[in-house]
Chain A
Amino acid sequence: MRMRDLAGVAAAGIGLAAVPFFGLPAFYESFLYLVFHWIVLAVSWNILSGYSGYFSFGHGAFFGAGMYTTATLATKAGVPFLWTLPAAALVAAVFGVALGAVVFRLPRLRGELFALLTLAVTFVLATVVLNTPIDGGPGLYLSAVPLPAIGPSPSSTFYLLGLALALTTLWIAREIQRSRLGTGLFAIHDDEDVAEVLGVPTYRYKLAAFGLSCGLAGIAGGIQAMFISYVTVGETFSIAVPLNVVLMSVLGGSRHWFGPAVGAAAVTALLYAFTAGDYAVAGRAAVGLILILVILFLPEGIFGELIGALKRRRASVTPAVDASDLPAPSAAGPGKPENRPLLEARGLSKAFRGVQALAGVDLEVRRGEILGLVGPNGSGKSTLINVVSGHFRPDSGRILFEGSDLAALEAHCIARSGIARTYQIPRPFAHLSVLENVALPAMFGRDAQARPDAEREARRWLAFTGLAGKAMSLPGELNLHQRKFLELARALASRPNLLLLDEVFSGLTHAEIDDAIRLIREIRARGATIVFVEHVIRAVMELTDRVVVLSYGRVIAEGDPRAVMREPDVVTAYLGKPRA
């Protein structure tokens, strides 16, 4: 499949590259150059914004940075045109990475704030360029810069440059989509916090995507500067560039590397068809109308819907897998409680806006045990899980896991050291299939498996949790019970040493709880150590070796479940009435 793809692309590339040598009129070459130009901008934009969902309205800034780099180097420093292009890529990429290094650190700047910020950066850059010697106001003329004769005519040279860059950009976008980077970006799109906790280095991935995206836009800018041969701030940093790019990607479908190319070709052709005649206004209105119709009826974009339909047809035949060859969830060997601690928390504190969620918790989790964590609502149980898994950093205290301190580590490093968790309210990646959801932690967890191995592993855990039949479904099609088990399968797929379960039993019927109890026993038998937060007292009593009771962020009791549940403090703070 892969080889056939590549051969097809190569053949198409050679065929298209041969076109200028058959004497195509210059008008068509220029038109096709423009199509390639927009393909590069839309596809490169999509690498960050489509894959990871960080909608940027700043693509014009990076495109403009490339334009001005080429224009400045070629006119003022006498650098040959082709040599300015790597510089254009570099300047745009460095600019993007520097911006990202600040912005991606701040979780507040997701969604619309990121879009507005990137738009603002465009205007700042425009002002800087306009009021410094880079431009200074009159614009830069490139008409005297010599154009290398790559094709038989100047227009064919632009055609060939555009074609080469478009193919390169498409190839890069395709490779990213199929790589770990792409998987991580799509996970960030759906739920960045969960992606990080499952082992995806989100900060680095966003920076890499942003850098590549900006660099490609920079080269497109460099070529465009030469093509229009007169560069002005007003034209370069106009809102039209980011708007067109967003429109093209949404129209074509932003969840697939090829989607934006379809959108770019369609929009460019439409606009050109109308501006060529006397219907420029009608043309713009038509494009707007088409966009509205696509958003209404093809929310995944033209190409996205096409691919989706194909996938669904293929999904109907899925290989059967049974759970018989299940691997051990942990390398630690069959589970039996030992006295050596696997995890130790010392003086752990965490406050939110004045609410002290954890107030100096000391806790020990012993190797191979099942530890129950109970306590009133708001006593800090989920916060404890969030702190151990790296979702929050503790204000003070230490967390020792197999002897090394986790408190300063980023969440994805904690995941890789062998800790996995589930969420109280399931948080699956909504746009990834159930199989992809479970394969992701296997790719990014301790063993960092390649995709085919990770998918095989995922199928085993789906069989184990009874979800094998749902592998190709989207999480939205599952009921609560199945979504809870999806959380469990996803946590298991990274083969953790320590499994943190946050209320997996809530909302299950009596019979379903029996099944879940069997499942947890089986997981422990395979070697994992388990901490679980639970209000279903029956499950706590049947499963745990020890319980720890939290109240107002402190440990108020711990030890044998039967003894602890009879302590008067526990009864009043938690149970409400005595239990046998």
Chain B
Amino acid sequence: MLEVERIRVSYGAAPAISEVSIRVGAGELACVVGPNGAGKTTLINALAGLHPIEAGALRLDGRDLSRLPRHAFCGEGIAVVPEGRRLFAGMSVRENLELGSYRRAARARRAASLERVCEVFPVLRERLEQPAGTLSGGQQQMLAIGRALMAQPRLLLLDEPSLGLAPAVVLAVFDVIREINAGGVAVLLVEQNAALALELAARAYVLEEGRIAAEGRPAELLAQAEIRRAYLG
């Protein structure tokens, strides 16, 4: 479904990632692990249209997206939970969620999606009319995930969804990801909680210094002692 072919993305002169190729099949859940600074966030931002791709191809169901304007990525059914949450701090929790369902296909199912998000994160229901900026850090992370779910995406990009969440909530978030994926949504997950991510994923990539250092089924990767040590301890 998602085909990323040898893309290069740079900040200034130095390429942050280069020659990176990734595939996520329809309804598949793939994950990317790697040390900080390897380019994981850059990769997610490029796939979400937040950062321009310099070279290589980005295809969704065969359609080339690499020349598409930023806002159109959402219309193609790609939703993202970006690093640092990037919420609309002055708007209420409800408004943040509703903005998530801006795309036509999602708007029709807005009420149902909102109900679903509130089921997953009950604390958001209590805070619906509160400005997003007044939520605690972890609650803001829940809102960022909720906002992405509201888009009814075909492809969900998650940049460290567990960041700053209490262990019980991390488990709940991963249950939701599993469930969404089971409903046919393709997921690309960047996550430092490698144990959980690799358990969930059908396919995994190790990104190091801007390049794909290893890829395969999680079990294959974990068979390599070096990878085990670095990401699971």
Q: Given the complex, which residues of B lie within 8 Å of A353, measured CB to CB?
A: 130, 134
Enumerate B142-185 residues with CB–CB distance to A below 8 Å: 142, 160, 163-172
User: A248 to B116, alpha carbons, bound, how many Å?
Assistant: 54
Q: Given that A506-B163, A511-B229 are known contacts, is A378 also in contact with B37, CB under 8 Å in the complex?
A: no
Does B136 lie within 8 Å of A382, measured CB to CB?
yes
Q: Given that A535-B165, A535-B166 are known contacts, is A378 also in contact with B136, CB under 8 Å in the complex?
A: yes
- Count chain A residues whose beta carbon lies closer than 8 angstroms to a beta carbon of B: 35
User: A390 to B35, alpha carbons, bound, how many Å?
Assistant: 35
Q: Given the complex, which residues of A lie within 8 Å of B85, measured CB to CB?
A: 425
Most interface-central of B130, B163, B232 (chain A CB within 10 A): B163
B135 at the interface (CB under 8 A from A): yes
Q: Given the complex, which residues of A lie within 8 Å of B167, measured CB to CB?
A: 535, 537, 574-576
> Which chain B residue lies CB-closest to A424?
B137
Min CB distance A330 to B, Å, is 28
> Which chain B residue lies CB-closest to A513?
B233
Does A508 lie within 8 Å of B172, measured CB to CB?
no
Does B164 lie within 8 Å of A506, measured CB to CB?
yes
Does A425 lie within 8 Å of B137, measured CB to CB?
yes
B216 at the interface (CB under 8 A from A): no
User: A353 to B231, alpha carbons, bound, how many Å?
Assistant: 42
Contact digits for B72-99, partner A, Cβ 8 Å, 1 yes 0 no: 0000000000011100000000000000
A510 at the interface (CB under 8 A from B): yes
Which one of A377, A379, A477, A514 lies within 8 Å of B164 (CB-CB)? A377
Most interface-central of A378, A538, A574, A577 (chain B CB within 10 A): A378
B15 at the interface (CB under 8 A from A): no
Enumerate A471-509 residues with CB–CB distance to B below 8 Å: 477, 479-482, 503, 506-509
Does B41 lie within 8 Å of A575, measured CB to CB?
no
Does B160 lie within 8 Å of A507, measured CB to CB?
yes
Which one of A481, A482, A511 lies within 8 Å of B230 (CB-CB)? A511
A352 at the interface (CB under 8 A from B): yes
Does A424 lie within 8 Å of B123, measured CB to CB?
no
> Which chain B residue lies CB-closest to A573?
B168
- Count chain B residues whose beta carbon lies closer than 8 angstroms to a beta carbon of A: 39
Q: Given that A481-B37, A509-B194 are known contacts, is A382 also in contact with B166, CB under 8 Å in the complex?
A: no
User: A576 to B83, alpha carbons, bound, how many Å?
Assistant: 25
Does A376 lie within 8 Å of B164, measured CB to CB?
no
B33 at the interface (CB under 8 A from A): yes
User: A575 to B172, alpha carbons, bound, how many Å?
Assistant: 11
Does B41 lie within 8 Å of A424, measured CB to CB?
no
Does B41 lie within 8 Å of A480, measured CB to CB?
yes
Enumerate A424-480 residues with CB–CB distance to B below 8 Å: 424-425, 477, 479-480
Min CB distance B131 to A, Å, is 9
User: A489 to B89, alpha carbons, bound, how many Å?
Assistant: 28
Does A377 lie within 8 Å of B36, measured CB to CB?
no
B139 at the interface (CB under 8 A from A): yes
Does B172 lie within 8 Å of A576, measured CB to CB?
yes
Q: Given the complex, which residues of B lie within 8 Å of A506, measured CB to CB?
A: 163-164, 192
Does B37 lie within 8 Å of A574, measured CB to CB?
no
A175 at the interface (CB under 8 A from B): no
User: A479 to B159, alpha carbons, bound, how many Å?
Assistant: 14
Q: Given the complex, which residues of A lie within 8 Å of B33, measured CB to CB?
A: 509
Enumerate A529-574 residues with CB–CB distance to B below 8 Å: 535, 537-538, 573-574
A512 at the interface (CB under 8 A from B): yes
Enumerate A354-403 residues with CB–CB distance to B below 8 Å: 355, 374-379, 382-383
User: A175 to B170, alpha carbons, bound, how many Å?
Assistant: 52
Does A382 lie within 8 Å of B137, measured CB to CB?
yes
Q: Given that A378-B138, A481-B36 are known contacts, is A509 also in contact with B166, CB under 8 Å in the complex?
A: no
Q: Given the complex, which residues of A lie within 8 Å of B123, measured CB to CB?
A: 377-378
Does A509 lie within 8 Å of B130, measured CB to CB?
no
Q: Given the complex, which residues of A lie within 8 Å of B142, measured CB to CB?
A: 377
Enumerate B4-60 residues with CB–CB distance to A below 8 Å: 11, 33-37, 41
Q: Given that A382-B137, A425-B137, A512-B35 are known contacts, is A377 also in contact with B165, CB under 8 Å in the complex?
A: yes
Min CB distance B2 to A, Å, is 24
Q: Given the complex, which residues of A lie within 8 Å of B130, measured CB to CB?
A: 353, 355
Q: Given the complex, which residues of B lie within 8 Å of A477, measured CB to CB?
A: 11
Contact digits for B192-233, partner A, Cβ 8 Å, 1 yes 0 no: 101000000000000000000000000000000000011111
> Which chain A residue lies CB-closest to B35?
A509
Which one of A352, A375, A425 lies within 8 Å of B166 (CB-CB)? A375
Q: Given the complex, which residues of B lie within 8 Å of A538, measured CB to CB?
A: 233
Q: Given the complex, which residues of A lie within 8 Å of B37, measured CB to CB?
A: 479, 481-482
Does A376 lie within 8 Å of B36, measured CB to CB?
no
Min CB distance A335 to B, Å, is 26
Q: Given the complex, which residues of B lie within 8 Å of A352, measured CB to CB?
A: 134
Q: Given the complex, which residues of B lie within 8 Å of A355, measured CB to CB?
A: 127, 130, 134
Most interface-central of A377, A383, A574 (chain B CB within 10 A): A377
Q: Given that A377-B142, A481-B36, A481-B37 are known contacts, is A508 also in contact with B166, CB under 8 Å in the complex?
A: no
User: A566 to B170, alpha carbons, bound, how many Å?
Assistant: 19
Min CB distance B191 to A, Å, is 10
Does B168 lie within 8 Å of A507, measured CB to CB?
no
Min CB distance A373 to B, Å, is 12
> Which chain A residue lies CB-closest to B127?
A355
Does A377 lie within 8 Å of B231, measured CB to CB?
no
User: A482 to B41, alpha carbons, bound, how many Å?
Assistant: 14
Min CB distance B81 to A, Å, is 13
Min CB distance B183 to A, Å, is 23
User: A427 to B16, alpha carbons, bound, how many Å?
Assistant: 23
User: A508 to B41, alpha carbons, bound, how many Å?
Assistant: 13
8 new A-B contacts at CB < 8 Å, known A377-B165, A481-B37 = A377-B137, A377-B141, A379-B136, A424-B137, A481-B36, A507-B36, A508-B192, A576-B170
A contacts, CB < 8 Å to B? 352-353, 355, 374-379, 382-383, 424-425, 477, 479-482, 503, 506-512, 514, 535, 537-538, 573-577
- Please list 28 pairs of residues, one from A and one from B, whose beta carbons are closer than 8 Å in the complex, sorted by A's number: A353-B130, A353-B134, A355-B127, A377-B139, A377-B142, A378-B123, A378-B135, A424-B137, A425-B137, A480-B36, A480-B41, A503-B137, A506-B164, A506-B192, A507-B36, A507-B160, A507-B192, A509-B231, A510-B233, A511-B229, A511-B231, A511-B233, A512-B35, A535-B138, A535-B167, A575-B168, A576-B169, A576-B172
